[in-house]
Structure 1
């Protein structure tokens, strides 16, 4: 019995749980290699780019999906707050590995710390009646301070590797991190699919949602925890500094040309996917930082969407809805 368990112990519990996803990543790479042969694109000939593209495509869905709710609730800056606390989570993971000789993915510790920070933002807001931006500022400052302290305690071992988390890096998306991102992607899409109508009701009329019996506090916490998961997932290629842009910019562009909430979500996903794929390609061939290039493409598409919205309005079409005025008639909050 001891001999039969030896391979399992060597593999590790995390690897065992992620094993099916590793198989999926291999099949994904096979598809990318096939596309490389057909198209002749150089970036598709490298396995690390396969993982980066897959992670980017997942981010292109996750970020606008939750970002749409955040923007319409005027919580756009929560992404920055959670990104900085996720950085603290990364620092915790690096510290445990370097100083205490643990073997844990910094992205897993970032998930835990970011979700705790998301709950802390809500608790501070509820307990002290402070505005959301106050609680976000407190958590942001605390998280980044913790991260910098942990890094400074072992600067020689941590400072070199921390840059990839600050600015993102296509080449450092490991198989394990890609698999973790796929798990986060499945959780986020599933939860939003199940609670979409309730989240929509809370987003546009919190008072009415309370009167109707919905647990507004619970759905608020679900929203911020999902945001934490998106932030950690996107941090791999966007970096801490720019990750919040993917929660906001595609959604802002979509609101310029959309006439319903559902349409706004779909258009924002299209914008995000275009920005991610074009940005990854341009970053690879231009040897630039992927996060910055992706954001620049997203902003460029946003400007184009604003111009299109203005042209449509001047042509006599119905003006695109404002952030707080998206038509919500396409859903029923009690349907789930």
Structure 2
């Protein structure tokens, strides 16, 4: 990227921390819509927000254990463990709750955030400073190790989705027929929510807990008015996600804005254009 910086005359591309930020943003832009497309078409868009708030509780657990017991636990590791458990719990609750699935999601979401706030207050706010970066996201905390984990996560998620693509599409649109075809519907449904948990935790440090779910939903919503098939919707959503992530990081650096907020606003801008273009194409 140093060569690209010199070629284009864009100074920020030459900074190592911006190179890491762009690479992280591209990873988030890919995996968010890649998993989010299945969630949106299953009408489970809110699960990303639910898992983000339970991941917040996981971060608080890691910081609490380190602060009180002096045991070093990586907050991202505890966040992932809690988010995966919460993902499986949500899947069970949704399966049992039926039409009241939104209630189940709300209970897990608020419960996760409640646990996190209790742990913060239990240390008299001592871990609040450390947790702020996870709440709102920041470019400055994107380390080389974090980028390496994000790249590995992106490859793993992409490979899993590619291998299970046909069954996942089948289960997403017609779970009854999928059961009749002897597919393990619950296995594939749980695979999607676990992948969602992994994506949420991976994106949390740059997007922040509050906004991370947006990358699961908004690019997909922007792609739907333009796509004529599920596969086309998936591809367009990834392109929108990557474009919004790179554009948001650029705006964040250029104007000193919050990274997560800039990425989400960029994605919403694309969504607005997509809705307008989709309406114009239908009327024409």
Q: TM-score range by the shorter chain?
A: over 0.9
Alpha-carbon distance in structure 2 between the residues aligned to 1:288 and 1:87: 22
Give yes or no for the alignment of 1:150 onto 2:132: no
Residues 268 and 129 (structure 1), Cα distance of their counterparts in 2 relative to 1, 3 Å cut = closer
Alpha-carbon distance in structure 2 between the residues aligned to 1:78 and 1:156: 28
Work out which of the two has the higher radius of gyration on C-alpha atoms and give 1 or 2.
1
Give yes or no for the alignment of 1:58 onto 2:66: no
**Which residue of the partner structure matches residue 190 of structure 2?**
221
- CA positional deviation for 1:198: 0.4
Give yes or no for the alignment of 1:168 onto 2:137: yes
**Which residue of the partner structure matches residue 198 of structure 1?**
167
Residues 131 and 187 (structure 1), Cα distance of their counterparts in 2 relative to 1, 3 Å cut = farther
Q: Secondary structure at the match of 1:75?
A: coil
Alpha-carbon distance in structure 2 between the residues aligned to 1:158 and 1:33: 37
Alpha-carbon distance in structure 1 between the residues aligned to 2:254 and 2:74: 29
Residues 72 and 306 (structure 1), Cα distance of their counterparts in 2 relative to 1, 3 Å cut = same
**Which residue of the partner structure matches residue 152 of structure 2?**
183
**Which residue of the partner structure matches residue 137 of structure 1?**
106
Calculate the TM-score normalised by the size of structure 2: 0.96
Give yes or no for the alignment of 1:76 onto 2:45: yes
**Which residue of the partner structure matches residue 116 of structure 1?**
85
- CA positional deviation for 1:129: 4.9
Calculate the TM-score normalised by the size of structure 1: 0.82
Q: Say if 2:97 and 2:104, in contact at 8 Å, map to a contact too.
A: no
Q: How does 1:291-310 map to 2 (within 5 A)?
A: 291-310=260-279
Residues 301 and 211 (structure 1), Cα distance of their counterparts in 2 relative to 1, 3 Å cut = same
Name the structure, 1 or 2, with higher relative contact order (CA <8 Å, separation 6+): 2
Alpha-carbon distance in structure 1 between the residues aligned to 2:43 and 2:98: 17
Alpha-carbon distance in structure 2 between the residues aligned to 1:90 and 1:158: 10
Q: Secondary structure at the match of 2:244?
A: helix
**Which residue of the partner structure matches residue 269 of structure 1?**
238
Alpha-carbon distance in structure 1 between the residues aligned to 2:214 and 2:93: 25
Give yes or no for the alignment of 1:211 onto 2:162: no
Q: Secondary structure at the match of 2:71?
A: coil
Where in structure 2 are there 5+ consecutive unaligned residues?
none
1:259 aligned to which of 228, 233, 236: 228
Greater CA drift, 207-216 or 131-140:
131-140
The alignment covers a number of residue pairs equal to 284
Alpha-carbon distance in structure 1 between the residues aligned to 2:238 and 2:99: 33
- CA positional deviation for 1:155: 3.6
CA RMSD, Structure 1 to Structure 2 (Å): 1.4
**Which residue of the partner structure matches residue 248 of structure 1?**
217
Q: Residues 199-253 of structure 1, C-alpha deviation per residue, up to 9 Å, x if partnerless?
A: 1001111110111101111111111001111111111211111111111111011
Alpha-carbon distance in structure 1 between the residues aligned to 2:274 and 2:105: 30
- CA positional deviation for 1:156: 4.2
**Which residue of the partner structure matches residue 7 of structure 1?**
none
Structure 1 segments (4+ residues) deviating >6 Å: none
- CA positional deviation for 1:33: 2.3
